[in-house]
Every structure is written in C-alpha cells, then in structure tokens.
Structure 1
Amino acid sequence: MLTADEAGFNEFVAARGPAFQRTAFLLTSDHHTAQDLVQQALLEAARRWEKIHTSPEAYVRRTIYTANVSRWRRLRFSEHELTGDRVADPGHDADARLTLMAALERLTTKQRAVIVLRYYEDLTETQAAEALGVSVGTVKSTHSQALRRLRDHAPHLAELLGRTP
C-alpha cells in the first residue's frame, strides 16, 4: 500500500511528467537525453519530496535546467545534424518544426534555456532568472543575444511561422 507521500509524488509525476519531457526535449533536441534529464530530476524530487511536496514544480524544472547545463559542460558543445526522429509535435508544420529545431541547436545552452523559458514556458524575465539562478540582467542580455542569433541564422523562420519579419 502506498503512503500519502508516495501517492502524492505519483500523482505529481503523472500530471506534470509530459510537460517536463517536452521542456527537456526543447532544451536538448534529443528524446533520449530529455528522458534522462527528466528521470534524474524526478529522482532528486523523490528523494526530497517531504521538503518540496508543497511546490515541486519549480524544483523539478530547476533541476532539469541545471542538469542540462552540467551535461553540456561535460560533453562540450558540438553541432548535431538534424535527423528525422527529432520531430516534436506532429500537429504543426514540419518545415517550421525542422527549421525551429535547427535554429535552436545553433544557440548556446544558456540561450536555448532562456528562449524555452520565456516563450515555451511563458515565464517572465524575473521568473526565468529565478529558475536559472542568474540575474534578471543576465536573462535580458542572453535573450537579446539569442534572438539576434536566431534572426541571423534563420531569417526565414518568421515567414514559416506566419509572421512578417
């Protein structure tokens, strides 16, 4: 029989797991690496459930972000060729998805994290800074650099997404 803590953790994982997986995929561009990050974050959350059970969402997200940065630092950044198995959502235009994924891969880990937090997670600059453990100024400058890099490397992305440049 499950204890109340175990049941609460299981409910949390069932409810929020898919969202964590999507976020991790956007950060890594790789399903397997994303699964590893989410599993690592949920393992840490399970170990600390008694302390974090009132607000585990922020804890797990922060763990995913920091684990991704640590992974990236260990492996060093290398350019990956976009493959067909990296399609995130079959409900949207394939050209736009592939172009977006290729553009995101050109960003640094920190830039990608800021873009994902600001646009996918819809966090404010302050919330993104808190999630990443950096200052609001760092989020602003990193955001600006990332957008500039996206515009330089994928100017046609705005057109594919139905926006005028």
Structure 2
Amino acid sequence: MSRREPREREFTEFFGSHALGLRRTAYLVVRDWHLAEDLTQQAMAKLYAAWGRTRPDTRLAYARRIVVNECLSHLRRHRPESAVEAVPDLPSPSAGDHPLDLGAVLALLPARQRAIVALRFLDDLSVEEVGRLLGVADGTVKSQTSRALDTLRRHLPDLAEELR
C-alpha cells in the first residue's frame, strides 16, 4: 500500500463528513449556493494540497478558515451588484403582508459580518475560535457580531419580537 492511499482515504472521509457544513457556511457569506459549492471545492483542493502538513485535531478549523478566506477573497474581487429597495417593475408589498425574509436581511450585512454570524451561530464557534479563524482580535468579533445583530433586529422587527 502506498503512502498516498491512507491520505486519500482520510481526506475522502473528512470531505464526506464536513463538506455540507462548510458549503452552508460559504453560502451564508456569499449568498449563492452554486458559488458556495465552487468556493468550497476550491478550499477543499487547497486543504488536500496541505493535508500532510495538517494535524487531525485542527483540520476542521483549518478547512473553515480556508473556506471563509476563499469567500471573502471572492467577494473582494467580484463586488456584488448594489441592492435596490424594491424591484421597479413589481408592486411594493404593503407593510403588514411581507413574510420574514432572513436571507434578504443577511444580504444587507457586509461579507465579514456574515462570515462572523455564520461561524458564531451556525457553526457554534466561540468568540476566540472565530477570532483565530479570521485572524482578528476577539473585540473585533464581538463588535462585528453586535453590529450584525443590530442590523438584523432593525430590519426584522417581527423576528426580534418573536425572539423575546
């Protein structure tokens, strides 16, 4: 058996166990499932190249970091189109009959805040873990989380009321 076979088996098992969660995190950052899939695949290719230099106990954190960095780099290189308040050719909904649209409100957050929200609340990472993963201070994670939650509460008052 060659040295490559156990490596490929380990990587295949890791990918099978974690790819969907990593893709979900990528989606929350980039807001596009197909792009999230592509960026997750790119991140996994980078992880595979570095596989021999990673430790089993830190691989998931390293994979998350690669995925988030891929997403943020992509968004820096390809600025999203600016959103408008309402599509001009559709009637505006009345104030009382709009459903809660968390996805639309998440799109209002800057990419780094979306990444922090995804890592903190979707992946259930601590402030310290998110700070290490993104290479920022714990205080930055806390302030960006606070700003993101303020934005969510402001744009989703119905959701804020339900959470009380």
Superposition TM-score, scaled by structure 1 size: 0.82
Max Rg structure: 2
Tell me, which stretches of 5 or more residues in structure 1 are unaligned?
82-94
Query: Would you say the 8 A contact 1:79–1:106 is kept in 2?
Result: no
Q: 1:46 aligns to what? A: 48
Q: Return the alpha-carbon distance in structure 2 between the equivalents of residues 149 and 18 of structure 1.
A: 27
Q: Return the alpha-carbon distance in structure 2 between the equivalents of residues 158 and 152 of structure 1.
A: 8
The 3 A distance-change label for structure 1 pair 80 and 41 is farther
Q: 1:78 aligns to what? A: 81
Give the total of aligned pairs: 147
Secondary structure at the counterpart of residue 3 of structure 1: helix
Q: Does 1:8 align with 2:10?
A: yes
Higher relative contact order, chain-length normalized (CA < 8 Å, sep 6+): 2
Q: Does 1:150 align with 2:152?
A: yes
Query: Would you say the 8 A contact 2:29–2:71 is kept in 1?
Result: yes
Tell me, which stretches of 5 or more residues in structure 2 are unaligned?
85-98
Query: Would you say the 8 A contact 2:25–2:115 is kept in 1?
Result: no
Q: Return the alpha-carbon distance in structure 1 between the equivalents of residues 29 and 123 of structure 2.
A: 12
Q: Give the AA of the match of 1:76.
A: R
Q: Does 1:65 align with 2:31?
A: no
Secondary structure at the counterpart of residue 78 of structure 1: coil
Superposition TM-score, scaled by structure 2 size: 0.82
